[in-house]
Structure 1
Amino acid sequence: MSTPVLVINSGSSSLKYQVVDADDGGALAVGLVERIGGSGHGRLTHTVDGEKHRSDVAVPDHAAAMAAMADAFEQHGPDLAAAGLVAVGHRVVQGGARFGHSVRVDEAALEIIEELSALAPLHNPANAAGIRVAMDTFPDLPHVAVFDTAFHLTMPEVAHTYAIDRQVAADHRIRRYGFHGTSHAYVSRQAAELLGKPLEETNVIVLHLGNGASACAVRAGVSVDTSMGLTPLEGLVMGTRSGDIDPAVVFHLARTAGMDIDAIDDLLNKRSGVLGLSGSQDMRDLVDAVEAGDADAQLALEVYCYRVRKYVGSYLAVLGRVDAIVFTAGIGENADEVRELSLRGLESLGIEVDGEANRARSKEPRDIATAASRVRVLVIPTNEELEIARDAVRVTGS
């Protein structure tokens, strides 16, 4: 049986797409349209049956990007008309407190997504634009919005509340929302399967470590705390984001450096993190620089992993009992140095990494803890597109 879903992630300057079989997780085609709205030509990469097809395309807006995507399917396959698509699933970054689950898109849902743009000004407008264009392109298919924040709306009030004036928080919808929810949801279920335990009896700490990074405490399949907050800036050190920082740094820079809000925003979101400390935001380059004896790179790696270790410790306290620490996403799945350094010194807490197992390369879900470790240490590849596809099937009853 095959249940293909077209999964779309519409960003401000890019359009990612994938045709995913919601039953077996296979990808029938994967594509990316880049440089939407740029002054020059955009770039389309369409991969099917392992073969990449690249072309320059004119993409002044998302409608043109969607047309380029449809043309790529027509030229290189698979034939969408014959593929039997059952739905279109859309990634939406911010669902606020309005969406605690995925929803079938109608005009009312779209208006709420657009209304929430104040909470995600770089993402929600582009997400909504992509959905509108896709609904015009595929008018006979149901469209489903899957929200990054939805998984975290289960957090208790004590975890999502910031200690600021209650009325100000209410007026401006200030609270912890968290992100990477589709990844945390998918990986926590996969972890329970790998452990051979029912999801409702499994407690895990998921570390989604990519250019953006977040930690999540998951009790019985439910998010009870996460490191990202009102925006993706809070929490772990990331590729270009600072993560946790004293809020007074903003006031200090305004007063002493004469920086305005936009400049400080740019600093903390685009020129900080690993990039700000070392000059490179790619973890592979950072590790190479460490091996070459670069002191700045060494400090950046240690700061990155120290922050991860702090969150692991705090979520051990939150959960009380933890069955596994789970690494996922590009860095979490591939950087054995980060996994080892992040959990170093936690043996007294029952966390022991097997060095040989950790260094072994594999694309499969695996356990890299020692036999004696009370807490298992898992590496599980994430699959947000499959999670979106399955949610789309669930919501539409396809």
Structure 2
Amino acid sequence: MWNRFTEGLADIVAPEEGIGQEEQDDTDQLWNRLASVVTPLPVSPDSTEAARNDKDEQDQYICDLERALLQRKKQNEALETKEVEIAQQKADIERLQAARHDIGTLQTENGTIPLGLNQEQFVQELHQSQAQVDALLARCQAHEKELVSLRGRLKELQTANETLQKEKREIRVRLAEYEQGYVEMLAEMEQMKAVNEKEKATLLVESEEHASSIDNQRLYDLEAQLKTSEADKVVAQQDAERLQRDLDALEGVLHQFQVDNKAQKKHVAAVEAELERATSELQTRQPLSEPNEEAMDDLDRVMEKLAKKTHECEKLREVAYVDSNKKGEVLQLMARIMGFTEDEKRRVGVGYPIQGNGGGGLFSSIIGLVAPGEGVTTSVDPSTIEGKNFADIWSEFLLEEASKGQ
């Protein structure tokens, strides 16, 4: 429908032959304005500004249509005036042709020039009249062709005018529908705005309640963590005190062991010196005699004893080389020498490496055992084995080994 409407508008505002330059400029300007609004944009239900602009465009479009129809009416009046002029020109041509025919008739009948005019002047006037008649005939034929064309265009324009009138009525109906839709859309937007404000207020209240609940839960968790940390601190202090007592006892045992180790080393050195001296004397006294079996046996026993003592000295040196910063390794070595099981190692506190002097203690917190708090009683001490602590067991072990060596 819009294509036919555009073609009709193009025919309406097209410039006619004979129209002045000023009217043609007005027609071109009108055509440009109509072409810009020939296809109105659809109304957006989500934008009130677009609906308002579309309404303005529809009003402007109707005004332009009225102007186009008025201009077309003026062109029709000019066409009717031109038809009257063409009819007058036809009458003049017919009159001139009749005069020409009369003159020819007089020439053939009388053979003389009437009214006292000479023949040359009459012939010249006759030729001029003939040329004027020919020009008028040519113009008449051109005007007749133009008249036929204009009548065809007039018929087309009348059809286009009827189409425009029909479309104008449709546009007015559509404009009324647009206005009704615009009013309904405004009412719906106001309703949606009220609903959104209500939902916004509800969400704000729920958000504040949720934030308050989260803060309360976080405060409760922090208080619980604080109480747990205080309880752990008390347990850690108790374990640290217990660890310090155990370390003091162990350092005393280790010091005594180092003193005994030094004495043993001196004894071994004296035995080695005596053995070397006896060997050198034996070699000096019997340089050429063949060694007997008894001497060889004594020598083997002495060498075996020397090797055993040397091995024990090496072990004692390894233990002596351990400083106070590696007490955990010393405890592990002592536990292996004494043949402790894993359970016994855990009970005396040497089942895992030592990390500092706090945080649970050597005998309990390292292996995950927590010392009983105040007000809690237990029947078994986890740091003892058969009622004996680690220092007593280590002392008995050293005494037994010393008696075996003697």
Relative to the length of structure 2, the TM-score reads 0.17
Larger helix percent = 2
Larger strand percent = 1
* Structure with the greater alpha carbon radius of gyration: 2
Relative to the length of structure 1, the TM-score reads 0.17
